[in-house]
Structures are given as C-alpha cells and as structure tokens.
Amino acid sequence: MKKLKLALLLFVIMVFVGYILIWIMMPTNTFYLHWLPQIQVKTNSTYFGQQGANILVYTFPILFIATLGCLYLHISKKIDENNSESITDNVYFASWTRPVLVKGPLGIVSWMELSFLAMFIALLVWSFSSYLHGMFANINQQAAQMRETVWEAKLKSSALMLGLVGNICLAFLFFPVTRGSSILQLLGLTSESSIKYHIWLGHTAMTLFTAHSLCSIIFWCSTNQISEMLKWDNIGISNVAGEVAMLAGLVMWGTSFARIRRKIFELFFYAHHLYIVFVVFFVFHVGFSYSCIILPGFYLFLIDRYLRFLQSQQRIRMVSARVLPCQAVELNFSKCPGLSYSPRSILFLNVPAISKLQWHPFTVTSSSNLDPEKLSVVVKSEGSWSHNLYDMLSSSPPIDHLKISIEGPYGPVSSSTDFLRHETLVMVSGGSGITPFISVIRELLFRANKAPGKSPSILLVCTFKKSLDLAMLDLILPVSGTNFDISSLQLQIEAYVTREKQPPTENSKIPQTIWFKPDALDVPVSAILGQNNWLWLAVIVSASCIIFLLLIGVLTRYYIYPIDHNSNLTYSFSSKSALNMLFVCISIATTATMVFLWNKKQNANETRQIQNVNMSSPMNTPPSAWFCDAERELESLPHQSLVQATTIHYGTRPDLKSKSFLKPKVTLLAKDSLFERVFKKHKYRRNIVGVQKLERRGSCKRPEEDEARSGCNMLSWLGK
C-alpha cells in the first residue's frame, strides 16, 4: 500500500510539472507556432474537433491529478486506519505545512503556500513580459498592415495581452473555494486557510480584465469602431457577452472590498452569486474551446458545490443543546459512527427557522474518536443570527425540536494529527477562539487513555472578558460525560479574566442541557459520499468527465460536423458553447446524484441501528426533565480534575511578549531542555504552538467573512 501511495504521488508530481510547463510555454511563439499546431493535428477528429486539443492540454491534466489525488488520500486513510499508532505520514512533508510567516498582510503562511505563491507570481510576471515582448516585437509592421497608427496597434495588443494574463488568474480562481478538493488536501491545505488566495486572485483578475475592457473601448473609440461594443458575432469573439460578464464581475468586485463587505455583508454575499453569470458569459465571449483553459478549476468547483447542495437538503437530528450562562450554546448532533473527521474541522450551519438562506461556519469541538456517535459545535451569541438562536434555545418553556441542515464537516487531512509528534503543546486563545483547541484536547484525551505516556503535555492560555465566559472551559468535557480518565492527560490551563479584578461574589449560573425529541425525517450527520468518500469522489470526477466526452463526441460527430466539417467557420460559437455547458452540468449532476443516492441508502442502513440510541432522549420525557442534572455533572471526577488543572487570573492579560511568561509554566510540562533552547535563541514567540487570533468564530453576522478570516485560526505546531 505504501509503495502504491508513493507511486501515485510521483505520478501526480510528473503530471503537475508537465501542466506547469504548458503554462510557462504558453506565452512563447514556440508553443503557438509549433507545439499547439502539432497537438491539434494529432487530436483533430470528427468527434471533438479542434477543441479536443484544448481539452487534452488544459482540462485533462488537472482532472487526472484530482482523480489520482483522491486515490492517494483514500490509500492514506486506509493506512492510518490500519496503523492507528502512526503519528504522521511523512515528517518531511509535514515540515512544508508548518508556518513560515505569522505576521503581515499574508497572515499565517506555510512553506507550501509560500512556494506556490512565489511560483504563481513568477508565472504572472513571466507571462506578462513574454506576451509584451512577442506582441510588440513587430508592432510597426503590424500597424502598417492594419492601416493603424503605432500607438493604436500597441493599445490593441495591450488589451489582448491583459485579457490573456487575466485568464491565468481566472484559471486558478476556483481552486481555493472548492471545500472538498482533493488537490488542496493533497498539498496539505484547506479551503478555509486558502480563501485569502481566492480574494487576491479575484482582485488581480478583475484589475486585469478592467484594464482589458478599457483598452478595448478606447481603441474602438479612437478608430471609430464604437459599434463593435454591440456585436455578438456567431463566429469568434462576442463583445456583448464579454461586456455582460464584465458588468457581473464589477458588481462582485465592488461589493467584495473590506469596507462594504463588513458593513453590508448580505449585499456582498448575494452579489457573489453573479459568478454564474460571469462564467457563462465569459464562455460565450471567448468560446468553449478556449474556455477549456479555465474549465478544470470550475469543473471541480461545480462537483463540490452540487454535492454540498445535496447534503444541505437533509435535515439533521439535533440530540441536545448545552446552554451556557455566557450566551453561548453547544449544539450536539447525532452522527453515524462511520463518519470520522480531524480536529479543527469546521461545518456550515443553517437554521431555517431563523433564515433559510444564511449559512454560517463553526468549529467542530467534538472528537470523532472520543464521541463516535455525536458531533458538536459551539455558537457564541455575537450577531443577530446567533442571538436569535440563543434566544430560541434558552426560552422557557424550551423547544423540543429544531430543524437544522449542515454542510461538512471539512478539515485538514495530511496534518490532522501532526501535533502528536511533539512533546509539549502551547495553545493561546481569546474568547470563543478556544473552540478549535477543545477538539484537539478531546482528541488527546482519547489518545492519552488509549496509549498512556505517548500524548504530549498541554498548556492552554485562554483569555475571557468576564467570569461568565469561564463556562466555555466546561465544553472541554462532552455533555454526556466521559469514561476516560482526564487526569491521564497532562493538561494545564491558565485562564485570564480581563474585565473583572476579583471573583464574583454571587453563585454563577449552571449550564443547562436540553434534550430534543427525535423526528422520523431527521438523519444523523454522515459523510456525503460515505466512509470511502475519496474513492467515490474519484468515481464522480472520472465518470462525469467520461460522460461529458461521450456527449460532446456524439454531438460533434452527428450534428456539428456535418454542418461545420471542423472548420469553425459555420456553426455558431454561442450554440456550441451553450450545448457544451449544458453537457457539463448534465454529466456532473447525473454522476453525483447516483453516487449520493447509493451512499444515502448505505447510510440509512447504518442509521437504523443508532436512531434511538444516541443520548437516550426518551419520547415521553416530561419538559421538567429535559434539563440534565448539571450539579451532578459538576461533582463528577472528570470535572474535578478539570478544575484542579485550571488557574484563573483576574484583572490582567497574559504577557506573551515577556520572556518569563511561558518559561516557568512550560518547565512544569516539558521533559527536556526543549523550551530552554527556544528561549535562549529568543524565538519563543515564533514557536508558540496554536496561536489563536482573537477572532469571533461564532459571529454569524457576516458568515462568509468568518470563513475568510478563519485562515488565521490555524494551529502552528512547535517542533523539537
């Protein structure tokens, strides 16, 4: 298995290097005058026409890499399951996913991200300079042939060059927002941490496309060809389609700037759905054959988006809700035991009773190992949506059922448990930013009891505004309690209450747990594609691609070819583009739906076995008994162990800049001179493990902004 895994990885690298080589050679005359014509001659057929070459060169490599990536991840998952004691697949690869930059406009950036960012910038600079050199080399001769002035010819060439370079950004635009992407997971990245690259690609692409449009309009005005703006030619470029795409892009671009996005988030969110208009009319503008350049990223995004749509149509059974006095609530969902996810995963939540359209991201706080039949998230009341949810759950009398849909969970794969390689973990959080660390601590609790002495020691430094917020620490223990010995976990908690100088005199409120009645229409949380999700995703990508090729092959051979004879001078480009886009949608929808229904049937069999087992919430329980005996929980041994591990500081903040802050605390945990070496080198700040930004992950006022910012909520692990 490991040899097969290595072979797949090497094959993927070879294909990827070849794909990048194509992009490097694209701006050169060697590619357009020699390579591409030869490929077109060899691939030209009555079934695919001239677009067959573009599909082979631009589309096939990425879809092939995505398929091989799925197989690689499936094999990795099986190896991990068979060797549960394994801590990490590859220490060398894990080092590439460690942060190299933690400050500045880039946020937290790993070596892998920095490498690809540098390569992409180099590609843009190279393409821009190569196109500029190639187009301006004989500009005087071209101007004379076209009876134009030199500056007009340069303006026309500049417009074309800007559009071609903008297409490079567009080709990679959709990769970061494909949540279930095998390519991102193959690189040790997640959509959550890569969303910033989507933002930068979008800004760069729209800047180039805007300049492309302005140069074209100025050229038409200067040459008295303003009527070109109203042309939609059957053959070649359609200017009207390009203008419609540009208008849609400008609306998305204008509403995506930080000032507008933060103040009027709903405008940004709904305006971004114009990406459908943008892509459709972009294809009409340049034709489907040339659009194969950007097709791979959008194709994988469509698959992911359709699978998310199918998952969102299911109603999830919520077993219980733990209401905290700090206006936070823990939602506990029934889960299929076969669903496994890594610590620090996220999911998107929709509550139709509050809003049918709004989806909000939250960190999963449970561990699939410690809680095999339950999945939990924590919602802090910060915005109107989360405030309404808290009011619904804390109302009296309590509600007995709540309709909820989810998308996810999504999380890291290659580095999901890389923290197990280290002897000591230092985790710093503020407010509700503690939630990713709860899942890590629960995972470590499971492993500490399974293999005593092998789990790392933990120092959790957390800050809260008020004493009521200390209730967030209760979430470290599952709502149903645990049979695991928490004392076996070397855990030390330093909690800071910043706005109060002394403990409260009155007794604090006790968290309350509400149990919900089961509903026959509700289903447990399950993987959208079952336990073998990567294998099924490979089936969807490959099978849908084959179906698409068959459809366009039949269409071209028996309908378009008798009319056009592969001349591209007779049959309408717009009609061909519309049919090809329709076939893409049909191929993806057909394949994904069949796989989804098959796995839904398999999940239903598993659901029947656990439907009435989770949490034992009886149907006839009186409302007065729907609140669990919290006092009994507070007296439990695990809770007492948690209290003993916690030190509370009032009226102060943790001085992370002080060299003496962590040193005495970590000495209690470290078994060697690791931190002595770190502090002597004055690199302790860069080596703090799990620096958690003071972000409001539960702030649902601007959900997608939380998703964009959550790239900063990464764990950076301290190496030895």
What CATH number corresponds to the domain at position 663? 3.40.50.80
Tell me the per-residue pLDDT of 284-340, one tens digit each, with 9 for 90 and over. 999 999 999 999 999 999 999 999 999 999 999 999 999 988 889 999 999 888 888
Q: Looking at the DSSP assignment, which residues form a beta bridge with residue 496?
A: 463, 649
- CA 174, chain centre distance (Å): 11
Q: Is 85 part of any domain?
A: no
Q: State the pLDDT at residue 354.
A: 92
Can you tell me the distance from the alpha carbon of 373 to that of 339, in angstroms, rounded to the nearest whole number?
9
Sign for the CA dihedral angle at 42, 46, 47, 52 comes to positive
pTM value is 0.85
Residue 206 lies in a domain: no
| Beta strand pairing call for 424-430 and 405-410 | unpaired
| Residue 706 forms part of a structural domain | yes
d(CA 661, CA 653): 11
Three-state DSSP class for 424? strand
**Pairwise CA distance, residues 60 & 43, whole Å:** 13
Answer whether 108's CB lies under 8 Å from 99's CB: yes
8 A C-beta contact, residue 602 and residue 534:
no
Number of domains in the chain: 1
pLDDT score for 413? 67
Distance (Å, whole) CA 517 – CA 399: 9
User: Per the domain annotation, does 430 fall within a domain?
Assistant: yes
Instruction: Please give the Cα distance from 549 to 536 (Å, whole number).
Output: 20
Predicted pLDDT at 700? 40
Note whether 282 and 173 are within 8 A (CB): no
Strand-by-strand arrangement of the 457-464 sheet: 424-430, 457-464, 491-497, 646-650
Find out whether 371 and 333 touch, Cβ atoms under 8 Å.
no
Q: Is the preceding omega at residue 478 within 30 degrees of 0, hence cis? A: no
Number of residues assigned to the chain: 720
Q: Is residue 635 part of a domain?
A: yes
92 lies in a domain? no
Q: Is 350 helix (H, G, I), strand (E, B) or coil?
A: strand
pLDDT of residue 683: 36
Q: What is the pLDDT of residue 636?
A: 60
Tell me the pLDDT tens digit for each residue of 42-89. Answer: 888 888 888 899 999 999 999 999 999 999 998 988 887 666 555 544
Residue 206 has a pLDDT of: 96
Give the C-alpha distances (Å, rounded to integers) separating 263 from 260, 354, 356. 5, 21, 21
Q: What is the CA radius of gyration of the chain?
A: 28
What is the helix (H) or strand (E) element at residue 360, kind and residue range? strand 360-363
Structure tokens at 613: 């087992």
Q: For residue 353, what are the contacts with CB-CB under 8 A and spacing of at least 6?
A: 392, 402, 403
Identify whether 691 is part of a domain.
Answer: yes
Closest by CA to 402, choosing from 411, 418, 413, 390, is 390
Query: Which residue type is seen at 693?
Result: K
Q: Extract the tokens encoding 675.
A: 């931190």
> Cα(480)–Cα(628) distance, rounded to whole angstroms?
10
Distances (CA, A) of 398 to 178, 331, 624: 38, 14, 10
Q: Residue 596 has which token pair? A: 């989804």
Q: Which segments in the chain show pLDDT lower than 70?
A: 81-95, 413-418, 452-453, 479-484, 507-508, 607, 609-637, 659-720
Contact indicator for 441, 458 with CB cutoff of 8 Å? yes
Of 371, 321, 306, give the one whose Cα is nearest residue 345: 371
Distances (CA, A) of 662 to 102, 461, 475, 657, 710: 19, 10, 25, 10, 26
- Are the beta carbons of 638 and 482 closer than 8 angstroms? yes
Show the tokens assigned to 225. 């060809």
Q: Is the dihedral of CA 79, 83, 87, 91 positive or negative?
A: negative
At a CB cut-off of 8 Å and minimum separation 6, what does 170 contact?
205, 282, 294
Spatial CA neighbour of 98 closest among 344, 414, 455 = 414
Cβ count within 10 A of residue 695: 17
Cα–chain center distance at 458: 28
- Sequence-distant (6+) residues with CB within 8 A of 270 are none
Quick: pLDDT tens for 425-480.
888 888 888 988 998 888 888 888 877 667 788 889 999 998 888 888 888 887 66
Domain containing 707 equals: 318-526+626-712
For 538, the token pair is 């490979």
Cα gap 612→265, rounded to integer Å: 40
DSSP string, 284-297: HHH-HHHHTTTHHH
Would 477 be classed as within a structural domain? yes
Alpha-carbon separation of residue 112 from 71, 94, 190, 198, 343 (angstroms): 21, 10, 12, 16, 21
